[in-house]
Structures are given as structure tokens and as C-alpha cells.
Chain A
Amino acid sequence: MAEPAIQATGLTRHFGDVIAVDGVDLRIPHGQIYGFLGPNGSGKTTIIRMLCGLLTPTAGEVSVLGLDIPARAETLRRQIGYMTQKFSLYDDLTVMENLQFLGRVQGLNRSGRRKRIEELLHRYNLVPMRERLAGAMSGGQRQRLALAGATLHEPTLLFLDEPTSAVDPENRRDFWEKLFDLSDAGTTILVSTHYMDEAERCHQLAILETGHLRKQGSPETLMKELEQRVVEVSGDNLRRVKERALQLPRVQSAAQLGLDLRVLLRPGPGSPVDYLQQALAGEDLSFSLARPNLEDVFVASTDARVDR
């Protein structure tokens, strides 16, 4: 597609002395589910707020749906939906009242509102909760209500800031089904997360750390193109083995996963298995090369030592 849904160059934001986002370049095509993967404090929320026009960038250019942001943020607001990290509908209003309020604020007329709200109540399984106060609902229900609220005016671009942080795995899977439905209908979705399984579902992914964009690409490509190698080590005394492995220059991280120790090795000469076998001589261990997963990509690109 010629023009991307979101284009940002050199996006930077300071809060006093703190640099929350530092020179991020983004190019997000239409119709995709684009994920921001990063730990807390990596700048995910700040970037989303800047793309919505809620925060003014300290430096950098932003264009969303062809509109210069923040200059034309008001025009943009009619075309985007935003689901905040913290539930931001009114706890002391019912499901219906919340949706009615948003519908009126978004400028839907009475009949359009009624039709659209009914449609959303059915789609997001909220029909029995109609008269329930939002504050009295479970995390999953509130999240579905928030999604209904964010998509009420049928935005072409949807921002979801850690939408599943307060939701159990079952509801999370269900929620992603809804996102794929929206994506199939042509909505561009930008979603931030710190869950690997969610990140893996995205069409495209940006890995963020301390305000920097570390890697960008589809999860498959990122996993395939990983320069680091992953070796699974099994045997006895894995905790001691892990301590030893972490002393080695080529080992970037080592994490125990069930009965295995998953070791991430920086690129180097020779086979990674041989390297480890020699370095960890004297232990009764077996080694096998493993296929990198997204967590390996994340650890490799963020330089975070997973040593738990």
C-alpha cells in the first residue's frame, strides 16, 4: 500500500530529564495488527499517546492516516478508537449508559446509536450485562465493554494499550479472536503488550526497550533472522550449570524452563553445541539445538538478562 496508516520519524519525548521515547521510526501499514512488545517503562504508552495526539512530541514528525499530528489531532479523533491501559469508562454508569454517552459524544444520531449499540452488545457478549454498573463487572467483561466503546464509531484505526493486562488467559484468547474479526473488516490495529504469546499473534511487531526501537518485523521473520543460537541443556544440577553458563563470554542469557536450561548464545565461530559442551565439561549433561522463539528474540534484542 502506498501510504502507511502511521508514519513516524525520529519520534522523541522527554519528561523533564527523563527520555521516555528516543528517536523512534515507525511505518505501520493499513489493515494490520501491529504490536508493541516491551517491558514496563519501555515507552509503549508514551508512543501511543503521541500517535493519538494526546502528548506533544519533543521532537520528530508524526503522520497518522495522512494527518499531521498533533496539529490535526482534532480531525484524527473522529477516525480513531483508543482503549486505555487503565479502564477509563465510568464505573458508576451502566453498560448501556456508558455506550450511550460515548455514542452521543461521538456524534451518532439516535437511531444509529441504538442499532450500533445492540450490534456491539451482541458481538461482545454484553447483552445480559446491559443494566450492570461497569464498576461491578469482571476484568474480562470490562475489557469487552472498553473494546465496544472504542469501536462504537467504527474507527479505521484502533489503539489498544495493554488491553489484556487484567484478563485471564481464556478471555485473552477470546479477545484476540475479536481483534482478528476487526482486522478482517479492515481496521488497522496497534496493540501494546508485554505477553509473548500475544506478540506472536501480531502481523508486525516492534520490540521496544527504554524508549528505543530495538527490532521491527513480523514475528516469523524476527525468529528466523535471529543471529543468536538457542541450546537446550538437560541434566542434573541445572541451577549450578546455569551459574557457570552465565560466566561464559558467548552466553547472553540462561533461563530454566521446566527440566531444561535454555541458553542463548551470541554468534561466534564453531557449533554452539560444541562450544557449550567444552565450556561446561565435567557435568553430566545433554545438549540440543533449539528453534528460537519470540522470547529469545526479545531477550536477544533487548539485552535483558533473563536469569531467573
Chain B
Amino acid sequence: MSTLQRIGAITGKELKQLSRDRLTFGMIIMIPLLQLLLFGYAINTVVRHVPIAVVDLSGSAAARAITEQVRVTQVVDIVASFDTPAEAEAAIVAGEIRAALVLPENLTQRAVEGEVLGQWLVDGSDTMVGSAILALRNMPLHLEAGAPAGAYRASDPSFEVALFFNPERRSEVNVVPGLTAIILTMTMILFTAIALVRERERGNLELLITTPVRSLELMVGKLVPYIFVGLVQISIVLGLGHTVFQIPFNGDMGSLAVITLAFIGASLSLGLLISTFAKTQMQAMQMTVFILMPSILLSGFMFPFEAMPKAAQYIAEILPATHFIRLIRGVFLRGADVSQLLPDTVWLLVFTAIMLAVSTRRFRKSLD
């Protein structure tokens, strides 16, 4: 099989070059690690340790219990206490605290009657902080309803409290699987786009096209090594996500492998298409960014797909990352099967086939 021999020759050559190219090799490992740390730790929409103050007008045991409950959520740090709401307001304006919890004089009576217990004064200038406090608002109220003040003990199991912590963790859980789509989009497209353009830039292509290698053989031979690269990267992200960030893995490995390979194929063939347009590695990089930006912003990784305007949704539907984010969240988190997610999977496979066909057609073995 001379076709297999030629594809094998190109793949083997590509792997050897890759293993000697320390920069690229380092990028294969460092890009997923860095992104995981950035998105996992630094870019965290979960708000913690917001500085607040308590204005306790009642001086009751119930007030102390509520204050303690608010403190242990870790969403807030109680950094001050004031005697009047006006003082708290001034502190908010001054930026010393983000919010203040005001507990009225008749707190115990209100608790017994099931009324609103107190008031949060919130600095709305930071929407993230604002919504964090808004979420907090419900907690003591629900707990209080119908229960005596003495029920405030840390050991008390409470459904409402659990509900409060869950969304906090879910946002992290959402980020890491989605991150695989972004990392693969970035590296897979970039590496293949550059791989072919580099041969052209260095003059290797002129020799290569005078050999009996066929266009499709060259394309496939170039893609294969990066399939392994993609699998290594996704293993790093999901492996660390699972162990360090405690992302639950609810799906099965087979489905994960199928959707991942489909997405890697789609990204690689898109990179190949870019390489048939780009004349220099610089151009290839710029075109990759052109694909990468909408993939980050529109794919549902950053913002919910449903919340985007219709036009943006149409664009997002073209991008492989959009489909993969749906797939991986489905398989990884919801434990879905590939058979339940056929439309997105098939779409990725069709995309791969079309891109490969167009690239092969566009890549003619000539210098015209």
C-alpha cells in the first residue's frame, strides 16, 4: 500500500519535527495548563470574601445567629459593625464596604411572625458583587420562616442552604469542560495552519510536490500527529479538572472519545483550510485568531447561547466549538450518550469532511 506508506512517511516526519521543536512542544503542554489555571482560578465568576458591615439594632441572640450564618457562607467578610444605617451607607459610598446587613430592633418578634427579617444595603456598581449579595438575600429569610431563633446552629442540615451552594459550584463545573473546546480550537487550528504554511515558507513544499505524494495523502499525513496532540491536551484539562477542581465525570469514556475525535477532526481540517489561504505563518496566526474570538465569545463558553441575539446564534452554529461545548457538557456533566447527541456529532463529522475536501481541492500540487 503505497498510499499508506506515503501517509506514514509524512506523519512520522511530522512527529519527529514536532519532538524537536521545543517551543511548539512546550505550547502543547503549557497552553492547556495555563488556560486551566486562568479560567479555573483567576477568572472566577463566583464571588467570595465581599467586605460588608452589620448594623445590629436589636442586640438579640437571633441577630448574632443570623450574622454567624451569613459569615459562614464565605461569600462575605464582616469587616465592620455600625450603630446606624446611615453610617453603613456612608461606608458604602466611601467604598470601605460593598454591602451592609441591617437587622431591625424588633428582629425576634419579626422572626416569630415570619416577616422580612432585615435589609441588605448593596453597592450595585459591580454587578457581580451585587448579584452575589442578592443571592444571599434569600438564605436567612427562608431558614427563619416558621423556625424559632434557637434553630440557628451550624450543624443544622437545611435544603435551602444546599441550594445556595450549588450554583456556586456549578459555574466552575461549567467552565472546565467548555474550556477544552477553547483550547482545542486555539491549538489545533493554529498548529495545522502553521504546519503546511511553514513548509511553503521554508521551501520544503517545492520539493514535496515534485514527489509522487498526493494532495489528500499530504493532508491526512499532516493531520494525524495533531490528533494525538489534541488527545493529550484534552486529557490534561479534563484530568486536572477532575482531580484539582473536582469536576464530576458522569459520562462514559467511549462517548467522550467519539465527540472529542469529531471535534479534533473539525478543528484540524479548518486549520488546513486556513493553510491553503495563508501565505505566511503570520497570516495563518491572524486567521486563527479570527476564528478563535467568536469561538470564545459566541460558543456558549462565556455567555449562555440562549441569551444571545439571533444573528449571533446563527454565526455560533457554524463554529465547531459551539457544537462541541454542547456535546462535552452533555457527555461529561449530564452523562449523556453519543446517540442522544447525534445532531451535533454528525454536524462535526460533516464539517470535517467538507473542510478536508475543500482544502484538498484548493491545495494544488503546483506553484501557480
Interface of A with B (CB < 8 Å)?
A: 49, 52-56, 70, 73-74, 77-78, 80, 82, 84, 86-93, 97, 100-102, 104-107, 149
Contact = CB atoms under 8 A, between A and B. Distances in A.
B212 interface: yes
Contact of A106 (B16, B202, B204, B211): B211
Contacts of A74: 212, 365
Contacts of B368: 55-56
Nearest to A77: B212
Interface stretch (B2-10, B124-132, B294-302): B2-10
A105 B13 CA distance: 11
A4 to B, nearest CB: 21
Given A56-B366, A89-B204, A89-B207, 11 more contacts: A49-B367, A54-B209, A54-B366, A54-B367, A78-B212, A84-B206, A88-B205, A91-B202, A101-B13, A105-B213, A107-B212
A55 B207 CA distance: 13
Given A53-B366, A104-B8, A77 B210 contact: yes
B229 to A, nearest CB: 17
Contacts of A84: 203, 206-207
A165 B27 CA distance: 37
A13 to B, nearest CB: 10
Contact of B13 (A88, A97, A107): A97
B289 to A, nearest CB: 26
Given A56-B368, A84-B203, A89-B204, A107 B210 contact: no
Contact of B210 (A80, A87, A90, A101): A80
Nearest to A149: B207
B210 A52 contact: yes
A174 B188 CA distance: 46
A209 to B, nearest CB: 23
Contact of B211 (A49, A92, A93, A102): A102
A239 B327 CA distance: 82
Contact of A105 (B9, B205, B206, B365): B9
B21 interface: yes
A93 B16 contact: yes
Contact of A92 (B6, B17, B206, B209): B17
Which interface class (under 10, 10 to 19, 20 to 34, 35 or more) fits B? Answer: 20 to 34
B206 A97 contact: no
B310 interface: no
A87 B17 contact: no
14 contacts: A53-B366, A54-B366, A56-B366, A73-B365, A78-B212, A82-B207, A88-B207, A88-B208, A90-B204, A93-B17, A100-B9, A101-B9, A105-B212, A107-B5
A87 B213 CA distance: 19
A84 B199 CA distance: 14
B12 A88 contact: no
A149 B203 CA distance: 15
Contacts of B209: 54
A257 to B, nearest CB: 36
B9 A104 contact: yes
A221 B367 CA distance: 36
Interface string B300-313: 00000000000000
B129 to A, nearest CB: 52
Given A77-B210, A80-B210, A88 B203 contact: yes
Given A53-B366, A92-B21, A107-B2, A97 B210 contact: no
Contacts of B203: 84, 86-88
A220 to B, nearest CB: 33
A105 B10 contact: yes
A52 B12 CA distance: 27
B16 A97 contact: yes
A92 B20 contact: yes
Interface in B12-55: 12-13, 16-17, 20-21
A82 B212 contact: no
A93 B207 CA distance: 15
Contacts of A149: 207
Nearest to B8: A104
A54 B16 contact: no
A56 B364 CA distance: 12
A77 B211 contact: yes
Contact of A70 (B20, B204, B208, B366): B366
A107 B212 CA distance: 8
A293 to B, nearest CB: 34
A16 to B, nearest CB: 12
Contacts of A93: 13, 16-17
Given A55-B368, A70-B366, A88 B204 contact: yes
A93 to B, nearest CB: 6
Contacts of B2: 107
Contacts of A55: 366-368
A87 B203 CA distance: 7
Nearest to A83: B207
Contacts of B5: 104, 107
Which 6 pairs between the two chains have the least Cβ-Cβ distance?
A104-B9, A88-B207, A82-B210, A86-B203, A88-B203, A107-B2
Contacts of B366: 53-56, 70
Contacts of B10: 105
Nearest to B367: A54
